[in-house]
Structure formats: structure tokens, C-alpha cells
Chain A
Amino acid sequence: MNEIYSTVIPQAPYIIGAYGLIWVALLGFVGMVFNRLRRMEKELAVLEESLKRREQA
């Protein structure tokens, strides 16, 4: 058991770091793209509405 702990504990920060980094990066990527898509969807709706009103006028 002592041998296992002596191997696992010094390696743990690197393993946690690697896995943490991957999850933060994956979630960050998805979050950023969805956020930008939502913003652009709103902008597009405003522009289309504005164009429609202009055509009707």
C-alpha cells in the first residue's frame, strides 16, 4: 500500500492537471461557440426584421 501511495501521490497533480485541462478546454470550446451562435442568432433576427420593415415601407 505504501508503495502505491508513494507512486500515486507525486504523479497525481500531473494527472489531475491533464484531465482538468481537457475538460475545461472541451467545455470552454462548446460554451464559447454556443454563446457566439446565440448572439449572432439574435443579431440576425434584428437585421431580418429591419430589412422586412424597410421593404414594407
Chain B
Amino acid sequence: MKRNPLAEIMLVLGGLLTTAAYFMTFFWAPPTAYPDGRVDFAQKIFYFHVPVAEASFLVLIFTAYYGIRFLMTRQRIYDTKAKIATEVALFFVLLTMATGILWTKVEWGVWWQWEPRLTTYFILTLAVIGYFVLRNSTEDEERRAVYASAFGILVFINAPISFFITRWLESIHPIVFGGGKGSGLETTMLVTFIIAQVGMLMLGYAFYQLRLREEEFKERVEALKIEIGG
């Protein structure tokens, strides 16, 4: 079972970058100050909430990609890869929801608001959970892989919808980049955000590779047990 040095490098680098971003968030990047003199300390949640959200969207690309590859080739490895990508996406989706809810409570005074971004992301969360419900409810391996691949592609379609919805419909959710006048970040904030984002994507890649290695181990163990038993 070969090790993946790139995954290990990504894990270490991702850990270092996210830790650096953590310190930069609190000791370097200033809190948002509004023209009326209000200081928005809760904005600091942004530096990790957005990177995990972006990571959840990007990892879902792999769910769809490997789903398509499976449907084209019917090779089991692609189904395994799609499943692991969705697992990593679920991890990021749950973190996005949890940190988002905490930010919403501070900024809007409520735990939840049925506005376009939150609603579409909630649908995405249910779809990702549904992917695993579907997998666990289908016993036949071939059918499970076909259904999951098709459903994985549908799950991915939610990602760009949820990302762009605040640009298409009126929404109270902030648009930090490309939201017109007043949007964007000052340099120290932007650098902190980019470091957190890159670190989180590296961690996402490392998590995916680690889980893939675990699946390979599991398959090898099962095969050996059958060989010894038979």
C-alpha cells in the first residue's frame, strides 16, 4: 500500500497555513469598522466560514467528476472516489452551517433566516446527507454506485446555484467579492483570507487522500480475509 507524500505535505502545509491565518485573524487583520463608529468583531468568523464554504463547493466538483467517470466506465474505483469526495464535502458543509449559524445569530439576531443563500445552502446540505442515505438504502453494489453517481451530479448542481444566488436575487447575505460599491476587503484582511482559504483547500485535499488510503486498506484487508478464509 503506497503512501502519498503529497497528501502528507499538504496536510502539514494546510495545518501551518490555517494556524497562521488563525493568528492573523486575531492579531493582524483589523475588525470591520462601520462609518457610524460601530466595530464588528463577529466579522472575524468570515475568515474561516468562507474558506470552509468554498471548500465544500469545490470538493463537490470531484463528486460530480468521479460520478461521471463511473457512469462512463463502470469502474468501482470512481464510485469510491466520488463517495470519499462527498464525505469530505459533508464535513465542510456541516462546518459551514455551524459557523454560519453562529455568525447569523450575532449579526442578524436570529439563528436562522429563510433568505436565498441560507435556503439554497440548506437544500445543498440535505442533498449531501441524502447522498449517503441513498447509498445506505441500496444493497446491490452496482445499482448503488449508479444511483449515487447520478445523485452526486445533482448534488453538485446545487453548489453554483447556492454560490451565485446572492448575485441573482435580492439577499441580506453579504457579498464580499464583486458585490459592487463597498464590497471587497482591505489588504490585511484579504491576505488573511487567502491564507485561510489556501490552507483549507490543502487540508481538503489531504483529507480526501487520507480517506482514499483508508479505503484501499479496507479493501485489501477484506480481500485477504476472503483469501485466508477460502
Residues of A within 8 A of B (CB): 3-4, 7-8, 11-12, 14-15, 17-19, 21-23, 25-26, 29-30, 33-34, 36-37, 40-41, 43-44, 47-48, 50-51, 54
Contacts and interface: CB of A to CB of B under 8 A. Distances in A.
Contacts of B214: 33, 36-37, 40
A17 B102 contact: yes
B39 interface: yes
Given A17-B102, A40-B218, A51-B224, A22 B48 contact: yes
The contact size tier of chain B is 35 or more
Interface stretch (B137-145, B179-187, B203-211): B203-211
Q: Which of B41, B44, B91, B203 has the most CB of A within 10 A?
A: B41
Residue from A4, A8, A19 with most neighbouring chain B CB atoms (10 Å): A19
Interface string B190-230: 00000000000001000100110110011011001101100
A44 B221 contact: yes
Nearest to A22: B48
B42 A11 contact: yes
B49 interface: yes
A7 B11 CA distance: 36
A26 B39 contact: no
A48 B41 CA distance: 56
Contact of B217 (A25, A29, A40): A40
Contact of A41 (B40, B105, B210, B217): B217
B106 interface: yes
A22 B199 CA distance: 13
B8 to A, nearest CB: 11
Given A14-B45, A22-B52, A40-B218, A29 B228 contact: no
Contacts of A37: 210, 213-214, 217
Contact of B95 (A21, A34, A41): A21
Contacts of A40: 214, 217-218, 221
